[in-house]
Amino acid sequence: MRAALTVLLIALLLATAGEAGAFPSASHRKAEGPLSLDDYWQRVAETHQAVADLQEQGESLRRSRLGELADGWELITQVSMPDGTLVPLDHSELVAILRQDPPDPAAILGRLDALLSLHDRFPSGLFTPRDVETLEAILADARFQWAEAKPSPLAEWWQNLWRRFVGWLNRLLDKIGFGGVSVPAGPIMTWVLVAVLVIVLVFAGRGLLSGLVKDVELAADGLGAHEVLTSEAALQRADTLSRDGDYRRAVRYLYLSALLLLDERGLLRYDRSRTNREYLRNVSGSPALVQPLRAVIEIFDRVWYGFEPIDAPTYQEYVEQVDELRKQRP
């Protein structure tokens, strides 16, 4: 009697599960046609609930019900959108996990949870092709049609100038090993470019002014701007000025005598338009000459351009450094 009641109870459970399942029979589903979007998400929720209820059931019952669910999802190949558009769907991965042997309800629930979570986050107000067509018709109105403004000649000139500046900057950075950069144009970068141009103009003007000052100073010393000056004459002039206590001008002629001597020996080419740093670059291929020349130039720059005070002992030290430089030979 008890065995008969047990069989009857199992039959009732199977019948109840079949009635409360997420899917009707396969034949019914085939005749039902594509699901609407709302019905589709309803089926996902029902499948989730059905799998959750099966976790407490026996393995045989779970395998049977999961197989029915897999059959149902296998038949869903299209969903009808609100505007009537049919969207094809592929549930092969879900079907495979539903038919997995042994069944893994936890993995199935994880997949369905992810699907439902995506649905909750997905925006509900979507534009349909019909909405897009309406928008295109509105934008075709003459009130929304206008010709794009062409840049002014000044704006085009500025853009060309900016491109040349970026190209020059890339070539400079490439030479020193930093590679190319992309410099966006904007208000801040505009002022940066203006500052760079001002600096370039200042240095160019400084070089021109330096040449003019040198000519004026030579004329003030009793030498013509184009008069030929030898290293020996410059050395004698430095000696005369130092005896009179004019150590600043003596330093200048002492340095000049060293440059002229190096020029006479073919170690560098003296040119009044060159800067001291250019002289250093000119002899960069002679390591033995670079160090004494740099020491002489640094003191000359501090005294002549920096107006650093100099007395007799300091001047004598400079004479010794210049003598060391004058010893250099080819």
* 275 inside domain: yes
* 142 inside domain: no
* 16 inside domain: yes
Tokens linked to 73: 């999802």
- Residue-level pLDDT, tens digit, the chain, 330 residues: 333 333 333 233 333 333 334 454 444 445 456 888 888 888 888 988 888 888 777 778 888 888 888 888 888 888 888 778 888 888 888 888 888 888 888 888 888 888 888 777 765 556 677 778 888 888 888 777 777 767 778 878 877 887 887 777 777 766 655 555 555 555 565 566 567 656 755 655 554 444 444 443 444 454 444 444 788 888 899 999 999 999 999 999 999 988 888 888 888 888 888 888 888 888 888 888 888 888 889 989 888 988 899 899 989 988 888 888 888 877
Q: Are residues 30 and 93 in the same domain?
A: yes
User: β-strand 78-80 against 86-88: which pairing, if any?
Assistant: antiparallel
Q: Are residues 44 and 97 in the same domain?
A: yes
- Is 104 within 8 Å of 63 (Cβ atoms)? no
* 141 inside domain: no
* 314 inside domain: yes
Q: Are residues 56 and 162 in the same domain?
A: no
Number of domains in the chain: 3
* 220 inside domain: no
Could you check whether the bond before residue 102 is cis, i.e. omega within 30 degrees of 0? yes
Q: Are residues 194 and 83 in the same domain?
A: no
| pLDDT score of 190 | 58
| pLDDT score of 2 | 36
Of 72, 66, 77, nearest to 107 by C-alpha is 66
| pLDDT score of 180 | 55
Q: Are residues 201 and 260 in the same domain?
A: no
Q: Are residues 102 and 169 in the same domain?
A: no
Query: pTM above the 0.85 mark?
Result: no
Q: Are residues 12 and 106 in the same domain?
A: yes
Q: Are residues 203 and 246 in the same domain?
A: no
Q: Are residues 56 and 12 in the same domain?
A: yes
Q: What number of other Cβ atoms are within 10 A of residue 169's Cβ?
A: 16
User: What is d(CA 9, CA 2) in angstroms, rounded to the nearest whole number?
Assistant: 11
If phi > 0 it is left, if psi is from -120 to 50 it is alpha, else beta; for residue 257 that is alpha
Structural domain of 287? 228-326
* 232 inside domain: yes
Q: Are residues 12 and 81 in the same domain?
A: yes
Q: Are residues 203 and 237 in the same domain?
A: no
* 215 inside domain: no
**Which of residues 208, 241, 272 is at a domain's end?**
208
Of 215, 253, 211, nearest to 231 by C-alpha is 253
